[in-house]
Structures are given as structure tokens and as C-alpha cells.
Chain A
Amino acid sequence: MANLQFKALRKSFGDLEILHGIDLEIQDGEFIVFVGPSGCGKSTLLRCIAGLEEISSGELAIGGQPMNEVPPSKRGIAMVFQSYALYPHMTVAENMAFGLKLAGHSKGEIKAAVQKAAEILQIESLLDRRPKALSGGQRQRVAIGRAIVRKPGVFLFDEPLSNLDAGLRVQMRVELARLHKDLATTMVYVTHDQVEAMTLADRIVVINQGQIEQVGAPLELYHHPANRFVAGFIGSPKMNFLPCTLESATEAGARVRLEDGTVIVAGADARGLAEGTALTLGIRPERLLAETEAGEGTARTTVIVSEHLGDTVFLYVQSPGSTGQLTVKAKPENPLRTDDVTYLRFPTKHCLLFGPDSRTLPRLS
């Protein structure tokens, strides 16, 4: 059991700075997910926690103790690697016992701990096998088992599910959630898959280019993204973005003009900005409405492709007045098909506005 604190943590490889000052506090027992695009520094941050990378400057504390100079084995952590990194020459039981053996525990203790972990993960029947004879999902369980037996204060997961096939990934995701509930240990989980982040996390840390963009509960990030990056990264399919210019702003909303001249009202407070400022309008695919008849504040465009998935229809439509493409997640009864003309409606309260600095303008409720 342990909490984690980062203070202005930086990490450089040579002249290249990967992490530009990370400030973060993780509570004891929390499930934290670091999410971000490839190369954003999330894995490096995890490796800094593990002690596999030296911290260039700043401070890391686990359970209140500064850890910058403490070797990995003494940090009270356990790590599950993306590639599982099992010891191929040892049986499953030996793999899980390795850490305890090094720590000098008695044979009886080790056996009991391995047995218990194996029960939790339902791999008792595999204990005598070598990793070679296991499937991907089983290997992943062994890797998790190896972490559990050490009873760490913090679990570190480095994209643990990315090598599994889709079905197994969902299953393991559920099991990880259950495991966290049972163990109630702090878990730090790195992934680039925002679905994993949304489903597993107590709080998500969105990282981009070595900096924290936003920290918050999954739905908070979904509904109240701090900036355009978070808005685009969280949610699948992605949020739609349209360039627009500010016409006028009142306490009731901001009137913005899209590139094709359509004027719509967004529920955002743009009163501090000058008329004519270039803004970005953001709206989630399930909020954007594709209608067959023109109405007030609708933008005329055409459907490029329609995808019928049974319970939903995805309409990919031409962005009004530009070459971009928008996604509409529509109900199955929506009659629009490929090449049809459609009129897009932007409900005021679901329209986000991003300022010239990409920050989200305050929303009006």
C-alpha cells in the first residue's frame, strides 16, 4: 500500500528531454492510467517509477519516501511488462517464486504465496509448465501472478494487454478491474488505448509530448476536456473538429460562423474574445445530428460513406465548407446512405469551443 508523489520530475536521454516536469499525486489504492499517443513519455514515466530509468531532476516519492536513488528491488513495486518478460527456462511456479526466492523467503512461504496467486488467476493447472507451452493470455496471467506474489505497494503495468487478441483483451480487462477491487493496491497502468483507460481508471492522466495535459476521472475527461488534445484523444470515434470564426458572444452562448457560412450557437463562454477570432468547434459524433430536411442552423453537406453496424450507423460526411470529414453516430433508423445530401445540426449545449491556444472555453450550463 503506498501513495506516489511526483515533483517537477524530468527525464532526459542525452540532450533529448522526454519528460518536461511532471507534477502528480497518486492516492493509496487508486487505479491510475497513463494514456497518450506513442512516444509521449508515458512508458518512460512508468520506468522512472520502477527505477529502471534514472530520474534526471525532480523528485519521486513512494509511500512518502524519496525514491530517486533507491534501486528497483527496494521500491516495493512490481511490474508487468508489455512483452510479459517471463523467464523462459523456469516453470510457471519458478517464475512466480523467483522474487521471493531472491528475497530469502522459506520454501513453505513461497509455495503458499505462489499457490494463492495461482488460485486468484486460475492458473493452478499450469504451475509445472514452461512459458513456451502457454498461450498469450496464460503468459499474461503468469506475468501478473509474478507481480502479485511479491505483495508490492504499487503495481506497474506497461501496456499489458496490447499483445492479446481483442476478445482476450476484454476478458483480461475485466479481470484486472476485479483484481484491483480484491487487492485494493495502488496500480499505475500505461496504455495508448483510451477504451482501457476509460474502463479501468479511477483517474486518467493524459500525457502528450512529455507533459500532463489533464488529470481526472474518465467521465470528467470525456465531458469536460481541458483542451483540444484531450478532447480528441478521449472518446471513440474521435470528436469532430471544425474551424469557425466568432461572430458574437453573450451569456446565452457564442455565435460562430462555419466555413460554409452557416451560423450556429455553441454553449460556451467566449465573451473575453474579440469578434472574428478563429476558433475550433468540437462536437462528439453521437451528439452531431444528420437530418434529411434543412432547418434553422443546419449545414448542408453530403454523406461520403455510411456504415451500418446493426445497432448504430456511422455516417462519414463532408465537413461543411472544407475538405475534412466528420463522423456522425446515428440511430439505425436513420435513412441516409452513401452519396445522400444531409443537413447537419449542432445542438448548442453539446458544442465545445476551443480558443486560439487550444484551451477549452468555459461551458455555459
Chain B
Amino acid sequence: MAIVIDKSQRWRVLLAHLFLIALCALVLFPVLMTVSISLRPGNFATGSLIPKEISLEHWRFALGLPVTNADGRVIIPDLPVLRWLWNSVKVASLSAAVAVLLSTTAAYAFSRMKFAGKKAALVGLMLMQMFPTILALIAIHSIFSRLGHTFPLVGIDSPWALVLAYSGGIALHIWTIKGFYETIPGEIEEAATVDGATPWQAFWRVLLPMALPILMVVFLLAFIGAVNEYPVASVLLRSQDQLTMAAGMKQFLYAQKYLWGDFAAAAILSGLPISIVFILVQRWMISGLTSGANKG
């Protein structure tokens, strides 16, 4: 590692550090600001980054605990923030699991099997996913509205409808996983085939364990996507206790009053499941699972 360094290099290193510090500040500022807003009394979006006075009223509100006002009145929070959080976690985990299940198998077919129209199907999937969700919003609404007449479980205002809607958006995941599969030499599966494995066994016992890191990445991406998703959730869900966090938080901001403090506290809460899932998942996101199979 001890490469001889030119003197001018030091200035460049210094500049690079300054640039990176500035970048970190830029990225961290909104997060810190949100924390600050959630901790200061009153509902003000502007103000100094370090609150002059710390108040936990917004956090108590977000967690559903009674809040005592300045004039001594006790307010019972009227918005089920924790319930929304739970809805978000439920919908996101389920839809991410379904997305992983569907996209790994679909990607296997696209990467390893020969069938007519493979290329067209792949490109088609990609193209369809390129249109923004907003374009299909009306269609999605009417589909689930009609579905709900026959199967109330997946009708409007049901979290299952949301899971179903989110599980459809896997084109990108298929491409991601397919790309990963293609880095795994086909000879390993051929060896399994010669060893007596059926295509399913070769997939399940040989290919999938090697693809674990990418499956975790896809799960995480799908999870984050579902937690953050607003348009479809806001159209498919109506009653207050069915809402996800993203859709529900809109209720802090009505025309007469913007409850920025409560909003900020809820926003931080909604980041929690993502962080937890990331921490859980990252131990699987290790590289080098395939190393050793080949000459190396």
C-alpha cells in the first residue's frame, strides 16, 4: 500500500475530503432538520437546526400517548400513527416477499431456459415498467374496485389489494436478478444435473443459495419502495385505520393547519422499519458466495 505520493496529491486529497464533507452535510441536513423539528415545541417548519427548547409533545402524539397542552388541557391523539406504521410494515414485508419469490423464478427462466419470445418478453417488461404509476392509477383503481365486488379481500380499502398491486412491479427486480444469475457459471448447474438433480433441485439447492445476496438486495429495494409508495396507497386505501404511513401522513397537513412537528416525528418513525430491515438483511449481503466454484 505504500505507494509513493506526489506532493500535489496532498492538496487533491484535501480538496476531495472537503468535497465529501460538504456532500455529507448536504445529505444529512434534511435528516437532522426533521429530527430538530420533531423535538421543538409548536409546529414550525423553519428555525434553527439546534432547538432552543426540547419538547416531546410530537413524539408523544406520534406514539399515541396523551399530550398535555400549555393551558393544561389533555389531548388524546386522534391519528393512529402506530397503526399506520404497522400497516406499512405488513404491506411492505408481504409485497417484498412476493416480489422476491416471483422475480427469482422469472429471472431463472429468463436467464437459463430457452423459449420463444424470451427477448420480446424481457424488453416488454422493461418498457411497461417505464411508465410512471400515475398513468395507470385510474386503471388500478377500477381494477381493484371491480375485483372487490367479487373478492372483497382484495377490494378497495384492503391491505391485500395493496400487496397485490405492489407485487406486480417486479420487472426491474427480474432484470437485476437475471443479471446476477448470468454471472454464475452454468457449469455449476450442469454439474448438479449430472449429479442427478432435477431442474428444480438445481435451482433450489445450487443456484439460489449462491444468489442470496442479490435476493436480499431485491427484498430491501422492494421493501423500501413499498414503504415509500404514496400514489397507489392513497387511491386504494380510504378508511383511516387501513392507511399506510406514507398515505396517512398526509393527514397531518390540512389546509388550515400544517402539523409539521407531528409530521416530522411520524416521518422518523416511518424510517425505522427500513433501517431495521436493512440491518437484518445486510449480514446476508456478503460478496464472494460464488468464489471457489471455479479455478479462482
Q: Interface on A for B, CB 8 Å cutoff?
A: 50-52, 71-73, 77-79, 81-89, 98-99, 102-103, 130-134, 136, 139, 146, 150, 163
**B residues in contact with A83, CB < 8 Å:** 185, 187, 293-295
Asked whether, in the complex, the Cβ of B293 is within 8 Å of the Cβ of A73, the reply is no
**A residues in contact with B292, CB < 8 Å:** 86, 88, 130-134, 139
**B residues in contact with A146, CB < 8 Å:** 191, 195
A84-B293, A85-B293, A88-B291 given; A73·B209 CB < 8 A: no
Asked whether, in the complex, the Cβ of A73 is within 8 Å of the Cβ of B193, the reply is yes
CA gap between A16 and B187 in the complex, in Å: 23
Interface residues in B65-94 (C-beta closer than 8 Å to A): none
Asked whether, in the complex, the Cβ of A81 is within 8 Å of the Cβ of B195, the reply is no
A130-B292, A132-B292, A163-B295 given; A102·B196 CB < 8 A: yes
Asked whether, in the complex, the Cβ of B201 is within 8 Å of the Cβ of A85, the reply is no
Asked whether, in the complex, the Cβ of B295 is within 8 Å of the Cβ of A132, the reply is no
Whether, in the assembled complex, B192 has its beta carbon less than 8 Å from a beta carbon of chain A, the answer is yes
**A residues in contact with B293, CB < 8 Å:** 83-88, 131
**19 extra interface residue pairs, beta carbon distance < 8 Å, beyond A133-B292, A150-B195, A163-B295:** A50-B194, A52-B193, A52-B194, A71-B193, A73-B194, A73-B195, A77-B194, A81-B187, A83-B187, A84-B293, A84-B295, A85-B185, A89-B209, A99-B195, A102-B201, A131-B292, A132-B296, A139-B296, A146-B191
**A residues in contact with B210, CB < 8 Å:** 88-89
A73-B196, A73-B197 given; A85·B191 CB < 8 A: yes
Interface residues in B241-296 (C-beta closer than 8 Å to A): 288-296
Choose one: B185, B193, B289, B290; the contact of A72 (CB below 8 Å). B193
Chain B, residue nearest A156 (CB): B194
Asked whether, in the complex, the Cβ of A99 is within 8 Å of the Cβ of B187, the reply is no
Q: Interface on B for A, CB 8 Å cutoff?
A: 185, 187-188, 190-197, 201, 205-206, 209-210, 288-296
Choose one: A51, A79, A85, A102; the contact of B188 (CB below 8 Å). A85
Asked whether, in the complex, the Cβ of B192 is within 8 Å of the Cβ of A87, the reply is yes
**A residues in contact with B187, CB < 8 Å:** 81-83, 85
A81-B190, A83-B185, A83-B187 given; A139·B295 CB < 8 A: yes
How far is the CB of A51 from the nearest CB of chain B, in Å? 8
CA gap between A78 and B197 in the complex, in Å: 13
**A residues in contact with B206, CB < 8 Å:** 87
How far is the CB of B273 from the nearest CB of chain A, in Å? 29
CA gap between A2 and B185 in the complex, in Å: 30
CA gap between A85 and B193 in the complex, in Å: 12
CA gap between A132 and B201 in the complex, in Å: 23
**B residues in contact with A77, CB < 8 Å:** 194
Chain A, residue nearest B186 (CB): A85
**A residues in contact with B296, CB < 8 Å:** 132, 136, 139
Chain A, residue nearest B195 (CB): A99
Choose one: A51, A81, A134; the contact of B191 (CB below 8 Å). A81
A85-B188, A88-B289 given; A136·B195 CB < 8 A: no
A78-B194, A81-B191, A102-B195 given; A89·B289 CB < 8 A: yes
**A residues in contact with B288, CB < 8 Å:** 132
CA gap between A88 and B292 in the complex, in Å: 6
How far is the CB of B294 from the nearest CB of chain A, in Å? 4
16 A-B residue pairings within 8 Å (CB atoms):
A52-B193, A73-B196, A78-B194, A79-B190, A81-B191, A83-B295, A87-B206, A87-B293, A88-B290, A98-B197, A99-B194, A99-B195, A102-B197, A132-B288, A136-B295, A150-B195
CA gap between A72 and B191 in the complex, in Å: 10
CA gap between A88 and B288 in the complex, in Å: 9
CA gap between A84 and B292 in the complex, in Å: 9
How far is the CB of A126 from the nearest CB of chain B, in Å? 12
CA gap between A180 and B296 in the complex, in Å: 27
Asked whether, in the complex, the Cβ of A79 is within 8 Å of the Cβ of B290, the reply is no
CA gap between A130 and B288 in the complex, in Å: 12
CA gap between A134 and B294 in the complex, in Å: 11
CA gap between A163 and B296 in the complex, in Å: 9
**B residues in contact with A99, CB < 8 Å:** 194-196
How far is the CB of A354 from the nearest CB of chain B, in Å? 39
| Chain B CB within 10 A, most for which of A78, A86, A133, A146 | A86
How far is the CB of A11 from the nearest CB of chain B, in Å? 16
**B residues in contact with A136, CB < 8 Å:** 295-296
**A residues in contact with B197, CB < 8 Å:** 73, 98, 102
**B residues in contact with A139, CB < 8 Å:** 292, 295-296
How far is the CB of B188 from the nearest CB of chain A, in Å? 5
How far is the CB of B187 from the nearest CB of chain A, in Å? 4
**B residues in contact with A73, CB < 8 Å:** 193-197
How far is the CB of A105 from the nearest CB of chain B, in Å? 11
Chain A, residue nearest B196 (CB): A73
How far is the CB of A228 from the nearest CB of chain B, in Å? 35
CA gap between A103 and B292 in the complex, in Å: 25
Chain B, residue nearest A102 (CB): B196
CA gap between A87 and B296 in the complex, in Å: 13
CA gap between A79 and B190 in the complex, in Å: 9
How far is the CB of A62 from the nearest CB of chain B, in Å? 13
How far is the CB of A211 from the nearest CB of chain B, in Å? 26
Choose one: B185, B192, B291; the contact of A132 (CB below 8 Å). B291
How far is the CB of B129 from the nearest CB of chain A, in Å? 31
CA gap between A86 and B185 in the complex, in Å: 10
Choose one: A72, A84, A89, A98; the contact of B294 (CB below 8 Å). A84
**A residues in contact with B190, CB < 8 Å:** 50, 52, 79, 81, 85
CA gap between A51 and B295 in the complex, in Å: 24
How far is the CB of B68 from the nearest CB of chain A, in Å? 57
Question: 10 nearest interchain CB pairs?
Answer: A131-B292, A132-B292, A99-B195, A73-B196, A85-B187, A163-B295, A85-B191, A88-B293, A89-B209, A83-B294
